[in-house]
Structure formats: C-alpha cells, structure tokens
C-alpha cells in the first residue's frame, strides 16, 4: 500500500487531478492520507525548505543601494549551492523525503514556475506553505494580518504544528534562507523561552554551549517547530550561518560569569 501511494504522489502524468505543486493546507483527504503513509514510511521525517530564492527575489525587487548588497549575497558560493542542491533533489527520485516549501505568498507563482521545470523530470510532488512577508510564519486562509503580531505568530505556528502531527511528522530536516544567530549582550539577558526545546534537543546531542538566539526566517522556523515537540535537524544547506559554524560555537566552553 505504501509503495502504491508513493507512486501515486511521486509519479504519473501531470493533470488537474495529479498536481505536482500543492498547497499543503488545501490537499484533499485522500492526498493527506497518502502523504501521511509516505511520511510514516520515512520514519516520520520530512524536508523543509525555507524561502529557497530569497536573495534573488530581494535583489530583483530593490532599486536603491541595497541592491548591491542583495546581489552580492545572491552570488555567494553557499547561497548558490543551496539553490542548486534544492533543484537537484527536485529532479531526482532518489531523494525520498517529502518536501515542504515555505514561501512568501506573493512569490509562490514565481517559485512554482521555477520548480515545475525540475518536478516534471521526476514527477515528484512538493507541498507549499504560504508565509507572511519577510518571515517564515505560516499564513493560513483565515490569518488576520492586523492581529497583534506576537499572538498571531504563536497561533499560526501552533496550527501548523498540529497539522504536522496529524499527518505523522515527528522530525524535520531544515534548509534554506536566512539563518543567523545572536548572543546575549549582557550577563543578565535571558535566552528566549520559546527556544528552550531547541536548546534541549541540542544538549541531548552533547552540545555543551547553546547560549545563543536563533534569528531570521530559518531561525524562527527551527525554534518554533522544535518548541512544538518535533525534532529538528539543521542541514548543511542554510545561509548565511551554517550548521558547521553553529557546532563550533556549541563545542566551545561557555564563559564563566
């Protein structure tokens, strides 16, 4: 049954009833059931990609002096590597994890057009989650953007985590743009409580120094998903901060006060 469902989601001819680029919150009950079986066949793990073409879209959109900054970053080796790797896994049938793309709502048509070229080769389906601008916060059909942003953010992530658990997701491998980290500016500053579960996960892996804050779109997604009780693995494909840089920080001895 699992193999039949895998073929159903990742093969066949693209038709109105067999789409390759799907909004995750709009899939049918049948598609949800099939996806859940594939997720369970992969041990509950999925691949999450945050804003895969972020720097390109930003450099295309601005016309002032910031364009130079965005364009320079757009052609950095790490950013380019992320894009090429994502396109490679879209093309191949060998990458078995279901792929979920977080994309700003206004960029979804462009991203779909870019990805369809590769998806047609593998006949693989990907699932899209719209986000609000300049954030990885999920945007649902009933999201009220005028609501208090703090309470709205918590509600949106909780709604997504509940949906993830409903379809059997217990682990997320995450990649994309952008990930940065910050450090307490003074000894009295405390680390965010809503990243406590992420720190616990890192400490469970033997990391002794997790005294930093996760920042920007990828950082927000990592912290929010982990806080919802789902295991998060940071892939080697994040930008500009990489997991290798994070691990160097984590293995350093924390300074004594």
Q: Taking the model in full, what pTM does it have?
A: 0.85
Mean pLDDT of the chain: 85
Instruction: Please say whether the beta carbons of 212 and 249 come within 8 A.
Output: yes
pLDDT of residue 78: 80
- Number of Cβ atoms within 10 Å of the Cβ of 155: 17
Q: How confident is the model at residue 33 (pLDDT cuts 50, 70, 90)?
A: very high
CA dist., res. 50 & res. 187, Å (int): 32
Mean pLDDT of 58-80: 62
DSSP 3-state assignment of 234?
Answer: strand
Instruction: State the DSSP H helix or E strand holding residue 79, giving kind and residue range, or none if neither.
Output: helix 77-91
pLDDT of residue 54: 85
pLDDT of residue 153: 92
Better-predicted residue by pLDDT, 58 or 208: 208
| Residue 240: pLDDT over 60 | yes
CA dist., res. 7 & res. 12, Å (int): 8
CA dist., res. 218 & res. 224, Å (int): 10
Better-predicted residue by pLDDT, 77 or 254: 77
| Residue 242: pLDDT over 70 | yes
Instruction: Please say whether the beta carbons of 2 and 42 come within 8 A.
Output: no
Structural domain spans, the chain: 2-180+232-241
From its phi and psi, is residue 12 left (phi > 0), alpha (psi between -120 and 50) or beta?
left
DSSP 3-state assignment of 47?
Answer: strand
Tokens 């927000």 sit at which residue?
Answer: 220
Helical H runs in 95-242?
108-122, 149-166, 196-204, 216-227
| Residue 25: pLDDT over 80 | yes
User: β-strand 231-240 against 171-182: which pairing, if any?
Assistant: parallel
Nearest to 171 by CA among 61, 43, 77: 43
Instruction: State the DSSP H helix or E strand holding residue 32, giving kind and residue range, or none if neither.
Output: helix 29-41
pLDDT of residue 90: 93
Radius of gyration of the chain (CA): 19
Residues in the chain, how many? 257
- The two tokens of residue 220 are 């927000």
CB under 8 Å to 41, separation ≥6 — which residues?
2, 6
List pLDDT tens digits, range 107-158.
999 999 999 989 988 889 999 999 999 999 999 988 887 788 888 999 999 9
Least confident of 45-49, 68-72, 107-111, 197-201: 68-72
Q: How confident is the model at residue 36 (pLDDT cuts 50, 70, 90)?
A: very high
């Amino acid at each position: 049954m699992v193999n039949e469902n895998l073929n159903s989601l990742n093969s066949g001819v693209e038709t109105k009833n067999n789409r390759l680029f799907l909004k995750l919150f709009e899939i049918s009950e049948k598609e949800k059931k099939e996806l859940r079986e594939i997720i369970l066949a992969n041990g509950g793990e999925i691949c999450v990609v945050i804003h895969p073409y972020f720097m390109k879209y930003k450099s295309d959109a601005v016309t002032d002096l910031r364009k130079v900054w965005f364009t320079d970053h757009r052609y950095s080796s790490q950013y380019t590597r992320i894009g090429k790797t994502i396109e490679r896994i879209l093309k191949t049938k060998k990458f078995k994890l279901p792929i979920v793309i977080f994309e700003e709502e206004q960029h979804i048509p462009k991203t779909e057009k870019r990805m369809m070229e590769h998806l047609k080769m593998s006949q693989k389906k990907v699932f899209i989650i719209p986000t609000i601008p300049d954030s990885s916060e999920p945007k649902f059909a009933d999201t009220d953007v005028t609501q208090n942003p703090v309470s709205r953010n918590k509600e949106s992530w909780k709604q997504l985590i509940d949906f993830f658990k409903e379809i059997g997701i217990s682990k997320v491998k995450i990649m994309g743009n952008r990930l940065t980290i910050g450090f307490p500016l003074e000894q009295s500053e405390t680390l965010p409580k809503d990243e406590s579960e992420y720190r616990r996960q890192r400490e469970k892996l033997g990391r002794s120094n997790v005294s930093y804050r996760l920042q920007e779109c990828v950082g927000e997604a990592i912290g929010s998903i982990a806080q919802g009780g789902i295991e998060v693995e940071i892939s080697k494909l994040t930008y500009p901060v990489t997991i290798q840089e994070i691990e160097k920080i984590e293995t350093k001895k924390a300074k004594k006060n």
